[in-house]
């Protein structure tokens, strides 16, 4: 671990100091100035005069984005109507009338009447909630004649009313919702529809940083928020890097910025927002959402859930998990004790989670890849004379993903070699069949979850986390963790291969000519077993001579 590893665990924005200094003088840029693909698609869709009458936009299902898109369309067509709706049914869309003695006495125009000659913007979720509306709405958009709804079918009119409309339909929803719309009508992704999406993040570099800063100006001015200091902007960008899970990206989500900056404005008494105001807003947000993480930590501290952060154990390693609870806004990290025991057998490695139907398909795939790598590394010409079982101890819900495959591999080889694992170190990362350690998700939550356990159980100065080198760009750790890394209380060890991870975790090489390497120890154990079996076989044959 290098002395300056702490600089890798949180975003660094020093290279943008000159652009940050120009922030107060930058002209504001609205959301669509950050969306070249979507802006181009809308401009082209507005100008089309023919068959393509519908547009799908992948965007968060929220009225804020629907109205922003509506305003953008309105700015391009000026006089034509642009209607955004938050509720639909057949009467709302097609209008309705009441008749007596075969004549209409009252008629209420529908959304199609109001949007005739212009655009109608609808949530994909609304269409999915009212699927019976879709066939008629689709027909109307394609120029077919449709009729308003008679409020009283018992009072028909002499001549049916039919209307044709000149209208374009824009459907907005997230990717899952648009997928369901596609399932509802396979035509939706044919030539009938334009497609584009609202991009919710922006890669930050020397060219784009000014765009992002100008976008912040637009957010502040549009929603009446106080000005930001330079330090406040970098603190906001750090929070954004955590939100996007990438140090090189900033979020473009209007709702995320607005919510956080409004909370920070409250802390600043609606005066200029400084970095401490954003940090205070983030701390208060975590506090109000942290009941479940605190209860999970309390269970570990009280010994109800066994997690060791000191000493050594054979076949036991601290893995890292991310807990997502339905209805709870905060995903949080929690260490998990992964153990492996060995017994005589036919080489089978039992995935207990899978056998208990608690392991998902991705977890099973990770286990199989890990086993394939180990078999290849040992270069065996016959199955192992041992069987093993690998399990997440005290896990009572489904486990999925391959992010624990490095930890599971370490517990397995530790048990096979009878070599202890340092319990001060937690491990995360996926392994491929060549022993390369691959990136996984949820790193910030995982590291902080183990950090809190180490903090409450007592720092030793040797505790930390092994993670994939390729995950460093995803880190935006809490300032308390960063400061502990600076002080040498807590450590981060980025690794690229199993050969790099094992010496850190077990204090000996994974393979090589060293007699104490893990592979050599496993080979020696197998050799001793086979020698014992051979001698036992000779003894049995001698006994049989006298039977």
Catalytic residue IDs: 403, 446
Q: Quick count: other Cβ atoms within 10 Å of Cβ 285?
A: 16
Are 220 and 263 in contact, with CB atoms under 8 Å apart?
no
User: Where does residue 19 rank: exposed (0-12), middle (13-18), buried (19+ CB within 10 A)?
Assistant: middle
Question: Comparing C-alpha atoms, which of 51, 35, 36 is closest to residue 168?
Answer: 51
| C-alpha–C-alpha distance, residues 411 and 315, integer Å | 4
Q: Can you read off the two tokens belonging to residue 292? A: 């479940």
Q: What does 486-531 look like in DSSP terms, one character per residue? A: HHTSEEEEEESBHHHHHHHHHSS-SSSS-TTSHHHHHHHHHHHHHH
Angle at 339 between CA 307 and CA 478, to 5 degrees: 40
| C-alpha–C-alpha distance, residues 318 and 334, integer Å | 10
Which residues of 146-204 form beta strands (DSSP E)? Answer: 149-150, 168-173, 193-197, 201-203
| C-alpha–C-alpha distance, residues 525 and 520, integer Å | 9
| C-alpha–C-alpha distance, residues 413 and 384, integer Å | 12
């Amino acid at each position: 671990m290098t002395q300056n590893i702490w600089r890798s665990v949180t975003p660094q924005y020093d290279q943008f100091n000159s652009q940050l200094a120009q922030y107060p003088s930058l002209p504001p840029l609205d959301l669509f100035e950050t969306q070249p693909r979507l802006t181009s698609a809308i401009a082209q869709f507005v100008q089309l005069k023919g068959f393509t009458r519908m547009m799908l936009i992948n965007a968060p299902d929220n009225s804020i984005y629907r109205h922003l898109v509506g305003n953008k369309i309105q700015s391009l067509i000026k006089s034509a109507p642009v209607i955004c709706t938050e509720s639909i049914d057949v009467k709302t869309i097609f209008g309705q009338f009441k008749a007596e003695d075969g004549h209409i006495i009252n008629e209420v125009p529908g959304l199609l009447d109001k949007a005739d000659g212009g655009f109608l913007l609808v949530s994909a979720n609304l269409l999915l909630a009212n699927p019976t509306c879709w066939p008629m709405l689709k027909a109307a958009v394609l120029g077919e004649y449709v009729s308003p709804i008679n409020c009283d079918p018992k009072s028909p009119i002499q001549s049916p009313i039919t209307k044709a409309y000149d209208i374009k339909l824009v459907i907005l929803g997230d990717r899952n919702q648009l997928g369901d719309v596609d399932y509802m009508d396979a035509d939706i992704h044919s030539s009938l529809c334009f497609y584009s999406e609202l991009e919710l993040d922006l890669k930050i570099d020397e060219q784009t940083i000014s765009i992002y800063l100008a976008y912040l100006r637009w957010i502040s001015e549009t929603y009446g928020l106080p000005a930001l200091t330079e330090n406040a902007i970098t603190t906001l960008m750090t929070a954004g890097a955590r939100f996007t899970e990438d140090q090189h990206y900033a979020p473009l989500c209007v709702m995320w910025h607005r919510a956080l900056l409004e909370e920070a404005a409250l802390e600043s008494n609606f005066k200029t927002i400084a970095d401490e105001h954003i940090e205070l807003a983030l701390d208060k947000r975590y506090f109000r959402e942290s009941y479940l993480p605190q209860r999970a930590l309390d269970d570990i501290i009280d010994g109800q859930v066994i997690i060791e952060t000191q000493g050594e154990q054979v076949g036991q390693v601290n893995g890292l998990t991310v807990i997502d609870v339905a209805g709870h806004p905060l995903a949080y990290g929690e260490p998990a004790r992964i153990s492996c025991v060995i017994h005589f057998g036919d080489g089978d490695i039992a995935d207990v989670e899978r056998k208990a139907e608690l392991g998902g398909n991705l977890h099973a795939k990770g286990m199989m890849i890990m086993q394939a790598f180990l078999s290849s590394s040992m270069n065996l010409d016959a199955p192992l004379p041992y069987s093993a079982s690998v399990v997440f101890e005290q896990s009572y819900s489904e486990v999925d993903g391959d992010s624990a495959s490095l930890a599971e591999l370490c517990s397995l080889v530790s048990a096979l070699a009878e070599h202890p694992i340092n319990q001060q170190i937690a491990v995360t990362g996926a392994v491929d069949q060549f022993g390369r350690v691959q990136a996984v998700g949820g790193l910030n939550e995982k590291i902080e979850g183990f950090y809190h356990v180490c903090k409450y159980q007592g720092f030793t100065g040797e505790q930390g986390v092994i993670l994939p080198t390729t995950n460093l760009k995803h880190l935006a750790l809490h300032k308390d963790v960063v400061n502990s890394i600076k002080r040498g209380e807590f450590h981060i060890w980025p690794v690229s291969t199993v050969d790099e991870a094992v010496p850190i975790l077990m204090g000996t090489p994974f393979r090589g000519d060293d007699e104490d390497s893990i592979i050599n120890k496993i080979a020696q154990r197998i050799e001793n077993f086979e020698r014992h079996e051979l001698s036992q076989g000779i003894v049995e044959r001698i006994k049989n001579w006298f039977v």
